[in-house]
Structure 1
Amino acid sequence: MKIYLVGGAVRDALMARAAATPPAAHTDRDWVVVGATPEAMADAGFLPVGRDFPVFLHPQTREEYALARTERKTAPGYHGFAFHTAPGVTLEDDLSRRDLTINAMAVATEHADDPAQAPVIDPHHGQQDLQARVLRHVTGAFAEDPVRILRLARFAARFPDFSVAPDTLALMRRMVDDGEVDHLVAERVWQELARGLMEQRPSRMLEVLRDCGALERLLPEVDRLWGVPQRADYHPEIDTGIHLMMVLDMSARLDAPLTVRFACLCHDLGKGTTPADVLPRHIGHEERSARLLKGVCERLRVPTDCRELADVVAREHGNIHRSGDLSAAALVRLLERCDALRKPHRFQEVLLACECDARGRLGLHEQPYPQRARLAQALQWAQAVDTAAVAALAQAEGLAGAAVGGRIHQARVAAVHDGLSAATGRADAGD
């Protein structure tokens, strides 16, 4: 029995050494065991957990250890693989089934604590591709698993200065043309999409998926945004697809959570369906965006928190951008439409997504977004209203039901009006 550390932990240690920086901490290390059987692993105290192929938990660390294996495709798409494990399966056999050369390196377990200083087992020249900043498939077996297209796009977002090898991009295009991505299950698409959105430069993921044709198959609502013009006075970058990539990268720059980044991805879907005769204007695109978003979320089974936030942003981002000119009554109506009073934390994320949208434009990356602070303050003024006291007074006057709610609404409008007046007075005094 021989144990090796493989994959991302080795890759990142080598990258850290080249950059003279501390290696990233890996909570999930990938271990491969060569020359063992399931019985031998159990005898050594490892706990079996794998269903499709033998994977075991270490008795102390609870890290996963997989027997070296080969695999053979038996059906289209992600499902349909036959796995073979046996003591005769070599480490090189196991590394050959991996996706990218930079992920197909290993070090012996005795060097796992410092893989950057260890002899690296590198049969597919991953170190060379690390130095050249290239994402390259290991073997033709890459084509057997369409999830690898998504994984490569995600790695492009993580390592934005890496290029995709021309032969790898050509292979990905053939996979798309052969219909492989059409067999992907929603859960895997969402999983990889979500992880890619959380990487350093999410726009690179979309760029790679577009280059190989996969974005049109997986997210046609997003893909059709490229080439759609916008008014240059609002969008100096003009192209809606370019704007989308800038918004996503701004969400990464502002360290936004996944909910916000997904909302950024979907906020302008309706612009892809604007009639050509009214371009570059996009009247009513917000409602069209919300309708298209619903289809995306159902198709990919998007989690509820991401779905709900994206819906609010799609419908209201234009109104939030224009909120600096709204009256107190209009501000309270906006807060109510966003359900901000019941879900203030979500509203803060709505405002962050809108800031990403406003600053994700050519030449406007450093532009302030005062709407965010103004609406957050308006919410605080509205929240300060003692609704129980207002309701009790209204009921004492004989009001009930919607009339009580109307009285609470009026009290909130008055509170926001007073707050705005006081703030304006302070500003005037400062002048």
Structure 2
Amino acid sequence: LARTERKSGRGYHGFVVDADPSVTLEEDLQRRDFTINAIARDEDSGALVDPYGGVRDIERRVLRHIGPAFGEDPLRVLRAARFMARLAPLGFSVAPETLALMRAMAASGELDTLVPERVWQELRRSLASAQPSAFLRTLHDADALRSVLPELEALYGVPQRADYHPEIDTGLHQELVSDMAARLAPGDALIGFAALTHDLGKALTPQAEWPRHVMHEQRGVAPLRALCERLKLPQEHRQLAEIACREHLNVHRLAELRDRTVHELLQRCDGFRKPERIAQLALVCEADKRGRLGSEDADYPQGRALQRLHAAALTVNARDLAAQGLSGPQIGEALAKARIAAIAVARSKTAN
């Protein structure tokens, strides 16, 4: 049944929906967000019903809002950004007048009415899209990112060392990393979120220390936890993101770590109870390393090495130690010692 909507209050819940047989198809299509999804087909003639120029905008690769009613629902700002995460790889851009309206909506404070769960829903779907950076860039350009995801907005304009990050701007780095994560793990928002948030601590580096970011992996934990709590993220997303935030530099310099330190890293990642964590961390760290200008196709041997050493440590069986008559703390100590030895053997084989 065709419907219309009337604004009745603040926020995206502030609408009255009227469903009535007298509502025309054109009136129903007017409820849609964008011209490109306000197209119908006549059942009898097969002709397209396109009252708002959606076909023309598809041909021109333009995402355009239908009319002023777009500005009544703040959720449409997030949907526009999420659409761009899907459509940017096809060459789409946001119409200037749509972007201007989105900026006006952000300035009005309407975005403050969005519940965190809806923000996460749109972010999650964008991270599972082909080009998540378009979600971030669209919201940033609309001055809306600071309202819905201020931890991410804070990274724009923060410089990094050019010898490590030719893109320099940390905001651009988070865009590149997000797209690389989507390339390495298509459709996986778990990997995408951890990759997106691994560098939040750089926004907290004192300006006097720029472009260096010493201890940013530790500084990033507090804003990450605040973000996860506000958006009410699932536990597995929170846990992997925090592991990536804390440990990505250790993975990058894995070859410099002692065998015992590698074992401690695997333990901190809960890699023996949840073995999948290590492969996930390796992917996130690879996205970080390759999410830099000029490094898109670079090799990342650290990721393979981490998984190889983890696999070696997993061959040690606690039951075998118990069968030797060990118990309690003795098993834990012997298990750690045996795993460290297995890591050392795996490394020696690679060296030879």
- Is 1:206 the counterpart of 2:136? The answer is yes
Alpha-carbon deviations, 1:109-140, whole Å to 9, x = none?
468xxxxxx41100000011111111110011
Please list, as runs of the form range in 1=range in 2, the aligned pairs for 1:241-252 lying within 5 A after superposition: 241-252=171-182
Please list, as runs of the form range in 1=range in 2, the aligned pairs for 1:26-425 lying within 5 A after superposition: 67-109=1-43, 118-160=46-88, 161-256=91-186, 257-393=188-324, 395=326, 400-425=327-352
CA spacing shift, 1:208–1:278, aligned 2, 3 Å: same
Give the Å deviation of 1:168: 0.9
TM-score of the superposed pair, with normalisation by structure 1? 0.79
CA separation in 2, counterparts of 1:284 and 1:104? Answer: 50
Does structure 1 retain, via aligned residues, the 8 Å contact 2:318–2:331?
no
CA separation in 1, counterparts of 2:321 and 2:215? Answer: 37
CA spacing shift, 1:392–1:109, aligned 2, 3 Å: farther
CA separation in 2, counterparts of 1:402 and 1:277? Answer: 48
Aligned equivalent of 1:52: none
CA separation in 2, counterparts of 1:321 and 1:76? Answer: 48
Alpha-carbon deviations, 1:218-258, whole Å to 9, x = none?
11111010111111221111111111111111112223411
The 10-residue stretch of structure 1 (323-332 or 137-146) with the greater mean CA deviation from structure 2 = 323-332
Give 2:201's aligned amino acid. Answer: G
Give the Å deviation of 1:149: 0.5
Give 1:102's aligned amino acid. Answer: I
Give 2:202's aligned amino acid. Answer: K
The structure, 1 or 2, with the larger RCO (C-alpha pairs under 8 Å, 6+ apart) is 2
Give 2:141's aligned amino acid. Answer: D
The secondary structure found in structure 1 opposite 2:48 is: coil
- Pairs aligned (count): 349
Aligned equivalent of 1:47: none
Does structure 2 retain, via aligned residues, the 8 Å contact 1:391–1:408?
no
Give the Å deviation of 1:355: 0.3
Does structure 2 retain, via aligned residues, the 8 Å contact 1:394–1:407?
no
CA separation in 1, counterparts of 2:138 and 2:30? Answer: 23
RMSD over aligned CA atoms reads: 1.3
Give 1:221's aligned amino acid. Answer: E
Does structure 1 retain, via aligned residues, the 8 Å contact 2:74–2:114?
yes
Give the Å deviation of 1:345: 1.2
Does structure 1 retain, via aligned residues, the 8 Å contact 2:178–2:196?
yes
Does structure 1 retain, via aligned residues, the 8 Å contact 2:38–2:54?
yes
What is the percent sequence identity of the aligned residues? 50
Give the Å deviation of 1:141: 0.6
CA separation in 1, counterparts of 2:84 and 2:141? Answer: 12
Give 2:62's aligned amino acid. Answer: V
Alpha-carbon deviations, 1:30-69, whole Å to 9, x = none?
xxxxxxxxxxxxxxxxxxxxxxxxxxxxxxxxxxxxx110
Alpha-carbon deviations, 1:152-192, whole Å to 9, x = none?
11111111111111111111111111111100011111111
Look at both structures and tell me which one has the larger radius of gyration over its CA atoms: 1
Give 1:316's aligned amino acid. Answer: E
The secondary structure found in structure 1 opposite 2:49 is: coil
5+ residue gaps in structure 1?
Answer: 1-66, 112-117, 426-431
Does structure 1 retain, via aligned residues, the 8 Å contact 2:133–2:176?
yes
Aligned equivalent of 1:59: none
5+ residue gaps in structure 2?
Answer: none
The secondary structure found in structure 1 opposite 2:23 is: coil
The secondary structure found in structure 2 opposite 1:70 is: strand
CA separation in 2, counterparts of 1:412 and 1:391? Answer: 15
CA separation in 1, counterparts of 2:43 and 2:234? Answer: 38
The secondary structure found in structure 2 opposite 1:281 is: coil
Give 1:297's aligned amino acid. Answer: C
CA separation in 1, counterparts of 2:216 and 2:123? Answer: 24
CA separation in 1, counterparts of 2:12 and 2:195? Answer: 28
Give the Å deviation of 1:404: 2.7
